[in-house]
Structure 1
Amino acid sequence: MKSGEKLRNIGPVSAAWLAAVGVASREDLQRLGPVVAFARVRRVQPRASLNLLWALEAALADCDWRELTPETKSRLRDELHELNHGAA
């Protein structure tokens, strides 16, 4: 994130991963969306877990990632699968 900018749920390692793939601000994350941002990170950091995807979604909603509903997580997984594999 930009110097001094802190997104809820995003720690220093995740922030560095995001910056490395061109997500340097909240605006960048909003423009790309959490699924695309996560997919970019995962291409260069294969060990990035779905917890990062949850954190990105929750950061935009300004809530704790543990508050995301199972339905929201399912939707995000579906969007990620579609992005990675195309529509079924």
Structure 2
Amino acid sequence: MKNTLKKKEKKIEYKNAPKEIADAIQVSEVVQDFLPKPEDLVFKKETVKVTINLSKDSVDFFKQKSKKTGVPYQTMINSLVDKYVDHFKES
């Protein structure tokens, strides 16, 4: 059994708004959403999967920071390597 919910559109009346705001609301137009989706804002670089051995202390450090920030520890390590490369890359 499919459960489908239909959202009912309700006209909202602003009774306590100051006159200028109430008038502006009455003559306003709905604008279509023009912003990109969040996933389209992130520019992903081409990646290559690698296997690497790191010290336990290093991994523990990044995992601890990951818990505090909510950023995956692998992403932190990747960012660190990218910044290192950018810093020392020959122009």
How would you bin the TM-score normalised by the shorter chain? under 0.3
Q: TM-score, normalization: structure 1?
A: 0.25
Structure (1 or 2) with the larger CA radius of gyration? 2
